[in-house]
Amino acid sequence: MRFYLISAIVTLIILITVISFRQDVWQTYALPYDEEQVGLNDQITINFSHVVAENTPKGLAADKFAQLVKEKSNGKINVQIYPNGILYNDENELAALKNGDIQMIAPTISKMTEALPSWQVLDLPFIFEREDQIYAALHGELSKTLLAELSSINVHGLSFWNNGFKQIASKNELIQTVEQFQYLTVRIMTSDLLSQQFNLLNAEPISTTFNDLYKKIQNNEILAQENTLSNLYSKGFYKMQPQITLSNHGLLAYSVLMNEDFWQSLDKSSQKIITQSLKEMDRWQHEQAIALNEQNLQQLQADPNVTLYTLSKQQREEWRVALQPIYQSYNNIGNPQFLAQLYQDIKN
């Protein structure tokens, strides 16, 4: 009996040893060296969260940025994009960036004004007449000063991206005159200046995150909104708010931001790749935004359920006059020098 037991144990040990060797359990091999392969330890991952769809000026710009840095770094820098607010929304993305839970975001300038009131300068109504003025503002002298201001909230400012002019989309009535704004519930991005803008028009501004907007329109809590055609189109808002006034009354643009500690942790050459990639895509991004809004305009024009109306010169002037007091408010709570610099940047 004892003999059989010992034989069984010895056989089992021999079996385990043979199988283990055949399965390479105790063998260690050096991984083959591949010059083109960046080691996992050398990889830099930048998680980039944003709230809009991929086929929008910001969505396309984020993709282009990821592609450029990947090329320039030979795959060492990997930008992982999380669109549509799947990770963070308007209300928590800045906190997530500052905590280091995410490395990059690109909130609208309006959404930064709670932390940096002087940034409201780019939200002033009727300050831009043409697209080239927008480019001059987002990439001129003022833009450098605005980016530098981010250090006061411990955020690294990289660049600005354009989306385009905001329009007014309404559920029931096509908005043409200042009087039609009375008591109208209008969704705004969280911003004192935007709130004041609609208060001056006697409307009822309601601040809502982009992610919550669809539901609130559906529930009739919000009848109108100001947004770009690309945002109205890509999220299907135009289906519920099909009366669209082409007012070009304000700008919707983005600040491209990085977590400050993460930025400082990057080596100089990675920092250079990031800044160069963004610089290289400035013009492309601006033109892409114009083209996309134009394409969405054509798609909306082709939709029989959508009404598009361009403000007459006189109506535009009436809106402008009604909103004029906001400039004085900006000078009181913002920075008059920023406004002067903006005029300087866009004057040509």
State the minimum distance, in angstroms, from the CB of residue 38 to ligand LMR.
32
Q: Which is nearer to ligand LMR, 114 or 141 (CB)?
A: 114
* Nearest residue relative to ligand LMR (C-beta): 210
Name, in order, each residue with C-beta under 8 angstroms of 147's C-beta and a sequence gap of 6 or more.
Answer: 157, 158, 159, 160, 255
Indicate the DSSP class of residue 222.
-
State the minimum distance, in angstroms, from the CB of residue 221 to ligand LMR.
16
- Going from the C-alpha of 77 to that of each of 41, 121, 161, 186, 197, the distances in angstroms are 12, 34, 21, 41, 42
Region 77-116 residues binding ligand LMR, contact defined as CB under 6 A: 90, 108
Region 275-334 residues binding ligand LMR, contact defined as CB under 6 A: none
> Applying CB under 6 A, does 170 fall inside the site for ligand LMR?
no
By CB under 6 A, name the one of 52, 109, 147, 339 that touches ligand LMR.
Answer: 52
> Applying CB under 6 A, does 189 fall inside the site for ligand LMR?
yes
Name, in order, each residue with C-beta under 8 angstroms of 61's C-beta and a sequence gap of 6 or more.
Answer: 106, 161, 281, 285, 288, 289
Give the interface segment with ligand LMR, choosing from 13-21, 51-59, 147-155, 318-326 (CB under 6 A).
51-59
Q: Which is nearer to ligand LMR, 164 or 273 (CB)?
A: 164
One-character DSSP codes across 61-110: HHHHHHHHHHHHTTTSEEEEEE-TTSS--TTTHHHHHHHTS-SEE--BHH
Give the interface segment with ligand LMR, choosing from 50-58, 76-84, 239-247, 272-280 (CB under 6 A).
50-58
What's the token pair of residue 194?
């935007």
Q: Which is nearer to ligand LMR, 50 or 72 (CB)?
A: 50
Sign of the alpha-carbon dihedral angle for 143, 346, 287, 90: positive
Instruction: Please provide residue 157's backbone torsions phi and psi, each rounded to the nearest 5 degrees.
Output: -90, 130
Region 116-155 residues binding ligand LMR, contact defined as CB under 6 A: none
Distance CA 319, CA 315 (A): 6
State the minimum distance, in angstroms, from the CB of residue 50 to ligand LMR.
7
By CB under 6 A, name the one of 126, 128, 210, 233 that touches ligand LMR.
Answer: 210
> Applying CB under 6 A, does 253 fall inside the site for ligand LMR?
no
By CB under 6 A, name the one of 103, 159, 227, 296 that touches ligand LMR.
Answer: 227
By CB under 6 A, name the one of 162, 185, 231, 285 that touches ligand LMR.
Answer: 231
Q: Buried (b) or exposed (e) across 177-215, using 16+ Cβ within 10 A?
A: ebebbeebbbbbbbbbbbbbbbebbebbbbebbbbbbbe
Site residues (CB under 6 A) for ligand LMR?
51-52, 58, 90, 108, 163, 189, 210, 227, 231
